[in-house]
Amino acid sequence: MVISNKPLRFIVATLVVCLPFFSFANPASEVANTQTEVAQPATATASGEVKTETTEVKSKIKEFIDHHLLDAHDFTFSANEETGEHYGFSLPIILWDNGLHVFSSSKFNHGEAIAESDGNYYVLHHEKIYKTAADGVLTENETTGHPTNATPLDLSITKSVVGILGIAVLMFLLFTSLAKSYSKNGGIASGAGRFFEPLVLYVRDEIAIPNIGQKHYKKYMSYLLTIFFFIFFLNILGLTPLGFNVTGNIAITASLALLTYVITTLSANKNYWGHIFWMPGVPTPMKFILAPIELLGTIIKPFSLMIRLYANILAGHVVLMSIIGLMFIFKNWIGSSLSFGLAFALSILEILVAFLQAYIFTMLSALYFGAGNEEHHHEEAH
Amino acid sequence: MEIPKIVGAGLIVIGAGMGIGRIGGSAMDAIARQPEASGKIQTAMLIAAALIEGIGFAALFAS
C-alpha cells in the first residue's frame, strides 16, 4: 500500500496535523496549575517555586533515564507517583545462595520492601539484590558508597531476559515457518517471509560470501544470520514503548562478542596462527615484537565489537529520552511540538542505526571469520 | 586527574569525527567518479567508519 508518493510532504503534513493536540493539551494543564496555586496560599515567592520545580523535574527525568538504562527485576509499563501504584507485572526472582530460592519480585515491592525466603532476607538496591539481616539495613563502604553486603548469585528472569526469550521464540517461529513455506509453495516465500527473504539473501550475498569466501562461508551462515536478526530485533524492540534496553546492556553485547571470539579462535586455520605468532615476510627480531601485538589484537577486535554496539544503542536511548524529557521542562506548546518533532526525526534515525549496528556487527564478525580462514598466498613473496 | 582525562577524550572524539568525516567525503567523491561501484565503496566506507567509531567510544568510556 502506498501511503503517499511524496514521503517528506507526508511527514510534514502529519506533524502539522499533530500540532493542535499539543497546543490544546498544554494551556489546560497550565490553567489547572494556576488554580491549585491560587487555592494554596504560597509561602515562598512564585519565581523561587518555579525554579525548584524545574530542577526537581530535571532530576526526576535524569533518575528516570538512569532507571531505564538498568535492567529491571519487574516489568513496569508506567507508575503513578502520587498513589505509588505500578502498572505492569512481576517477574520471578531466582537466587542461588546455599540453595535455590525462587520467589516473585512482587515481594520487593519495587525496591521498597524486604523480601524473605527460607529465613534469608534480601533487599533490592539499584536493581541489585543484597543479602541483609532481618532489619534490611545495608552497610555502606565509606569511600565508594557502594553497599558491602553479600550478593547472592542472581539468576533471575529479569526484563532483559524476558526480551531475549521473547525474541528467541519469535525468531524460532518466524524462520521455521519461513523454511516450511518454501516446501509448501514450491520454493517461493509467503507472508512475512517475503520481507525476510531479501534480508537473509543480503546477509549471504553481501556479508558472508565477499568476506569469508565461496569455499568456507556455509558453515558460518547459521551464526551470522542468528546474530544479525537477534541484534536487529532487539534494537527495534528497544525503540518500542515497552522500555527494553537489551542491546544497550554491556553484559549482553559482551556475550555476543565472546561468541564471535570463540568461533574465530576455534575455526581458524594454521595460516591465521602463523600470521599471529610468526609473521612471515618480516625480519626475525621484528617477529618477536609483532607476536604480542597481534595476540592482543585478537582480543581487541571482539572488545571493540562489544563497545560499539553497547555505546551506540545506549547513546541513542539517552538522547531520545532526554529529548522527550524536554517536553516536561518547557511546558509550553512550542517546546512540546519541537520536542515531539525532534523525537520523531530521531526515532527514524534510530531505526536506521538499529539496522546499521546489526549489519556492522555481522559484517565485522564475518570479516574476522574470513581472516581466520584465509588461504596461503603463494603468489606473494614472503 | 579529571580535567586531563576529559580533555584527552574530547581530543580523541574530535579526531574520530574528522576521520569519519574524511571517510564519508572521500566515499562521496569516489561514488561520484564511479557510480557503478557504489555498493563496494559503501561497504568499505562503513567498515572503516565503524572501526574509527570504536576508538571514539573507547575514549568516551575511558574518560
Same domain for A198 and A336, yes or no, is yes
> A312: which chain B residues are within 8 Å (Cβ-Cβ)?
53, 57
> A206: which chain B residues are within 8 Å (Cβ-Cβ)?
39, 43
* A9 grid coordinates: 510532504
* A229 grid coordinates: 536478526
Element holding A129 (H helix, E strand): strand A128-132
Same domain for A246 and A357, yes or no, is yes
Asked whether residue A328 is assigned to any structural domain, the reply reads yes
Asked whether residue A7 is assigned to any structural domain, the reply reads no
A380 confidence band (pLDDT: 50, 70, 90):
low
Same domain for A263 and A370, yes or no, is yes
pLDDT tens-digit map of A295-311 = 998 998 898 899 889 98
Asked whether residue A12 is assigned to any structural domain, the reply reads no
**Do A64 and A74 touch, CB atoms closer than 8 A?**
no
Cross-chain Cβ contact A304/B54 below 8 Å: yes
Count Cα atoms within 13 angstroms, Cβ side, for A257: 21
Same domain for A206 and A122, yes or no, is no
- The pLDDT of residue A17: 63
pLDDT tens-digit map of A219-248 = 999 999 999 999 999 999 999 888 888 998
Listed residue (A222, A338, A371, A199) closest to A329, CA to CA: A338
* CA nearest to A206 within chain B: B43
pLDDT of A29 > 50? The answer is no
Instruction: Tally the domains of chain A.
Output: 2
Cross-chain Cβ contact B53/A367 below 8 Å: no
Residue A248 C-alpha, separation from nearest chain B C-alpha, in angstroms: 13
pLDDT tens-digit map of B40-55 = 898 888 888 888 887 7
**Do A166 and A230 touch, CB atoms closer than 8 A?**
no
pLDDT tens-digit map of A38-63 = 444 444 455 566 667 778 888 888 88
d(CA A220, CA A178) in angstroms, rounded, equals: 20
> A210: which chain B residues are within 8 Å (Cβ-Cβ)?
43
Q: At what angle do helices A284-330 and A270-277 cross, to 10 degrees?
A: 100
Residue in A311, A356, A364 nearest the CB of B57? A311
Asked whether residue A201 is assigned to any structural domain, the reply reads yes
The domain boundary, picked from A96, A120, A154, lies at: A154
Mean pLDDT of A263-273: 89
- The pLDDT of residue B54: 76
Cross-chain Cβ contact B53/A308 below 8 Å: yes
Asked whether residue A321 is assigned to any structural domain, the reply reads yes
d(CA A106, CA A97) in angstroms, rounded, equals: 20
Residue B4 C-alpha, separation from nearest chain A C-alpha, in angstroms: 22
Listed residue (A146, A109, A116) closest to A131, CA to CA: A116
What's the first-to-final CA gap in chain A, in angstroms?
59
Asked whether residue A368 is assigned to any structural domain, the reply reads yes
**Do A260 and A368 touch, CB atoms closer than 8 A?**
yes
Q: Cα-Cα-Cα-Cα dihedral of A365, A367, A370, A374, to 10°?
A: -140
- The pLDDT of residue A158: 87
d(CA A288, CA B19) in angstroms, rounded, equals: 31
B54 close to A (CB below 8 A) = yes
Give one word for A187, left, alpha or beta, with left for phi > 0 and alpha for psi -120 to 50.
left
DSSP letter at B36 equals G
Q: Which domain covers residue A259, as residue numbers?
A: 159-381
> B63: which chain A residues are within 8 Å (Cβ-Cβ)?
none
d(CA A362, CA A368) in angstroms, rounded, equals: 10
Same domain for A89 and A165, yes or no, is no
DSSP letter at A132 equals E
B7 close to A (CB below 8 A) = no
Element holding A121 (H helix, E strand): strand A120-125
B51 close to A (CB below 8 A) = yes
Q: Where are the alpha helices (DSSP H) in chain A?
A: 7-39, 46-69, 159-184, 193-202, 209-212, 218-239, 250-267, 270-277, 284-330, 333-372
Asked whether residue A18 is assigned to any structural domain, the reply reads no
Residue to mutate among A260, A296, A308, A313, with most B CBs inside 10 A, is A308
Residue to mutate among A307, A355, A359, with most B CBs inside 10 A, is A307
Chain A / chain B CB contacts < 8 angstroms: 33
A287 close to B (CB below 8 A) = no
Mean pLDDT of A53-75: 83
Residue A107 C-alpha, separation from nearest chain B C-alpha, in angstroms: 36
A318 close to B (CB below 8 A) = no
Same domain for A195 and A137, yes or no, is no
d(CA A332, CA A54) in angstroms, rounded, equals: 13
> A356: which chain B residues are within 8 Å (Cβ-Cβ)?
46
- The pLDDT of residue A354: 92
* CA nearest to A358 within chain B: B50
B37 close to A (CB below 8 A) = no
A210 close to B (CB below 8 A) = yes
Same domain for A122 and A230, yes or no, is no
A358 close to B (CB below 8 A) = no
Q: Cα-Cα-Cα-Cα dihedral of A108, A112, A113, A114, to 10°?
A: 80
Element holding A105 (H helix, E strand): none
Same domain for A144 and A173, yes or no, is no
Residue A349 phi, psi dihedral angles, 5° rounding = -65, -35
The domain boundary, picked from A108, A126, A154, lies at: A154
Same domain for A181 and A322, yes or no, is yes
Listed residue (A330, A307, A295, A322) closest to A253, CA to CA: A307
- The pLDDT of residue A355: 92
- The pLDDT of residue A44: 46
> A250: which chain B residues are within 8 Å (Cβ-Cβ)?
none
The domain boundary, picked from A154, A187, A218, lies at: A154
Same domain for A369 and A220, yes or no, is yes
pLDDT of A30 > 50? The answer is no
Element holding A41 (H helix, E strand): none
Same domain for A244 and A375, yes or no, is yes
Sign of the torsion angle spanned by Cα atoms B18, B22, B23, B27: positive
Cross-chain Cβ contact A304/B43 below 8 Å: no
Q: Which of A130-139, A151-160, A278-287, A364-373 has the highest mean pLDDT?
A: A364-373
> B48: which chain A residues are within 8 Å (Cβ-Cβ)?
none
Same domain for A218 and A104, yes or no, is no
Asked whether residue A239 is assigned to any structural domain, the reply reads yes
Mean pLDDT of A14-34: 49
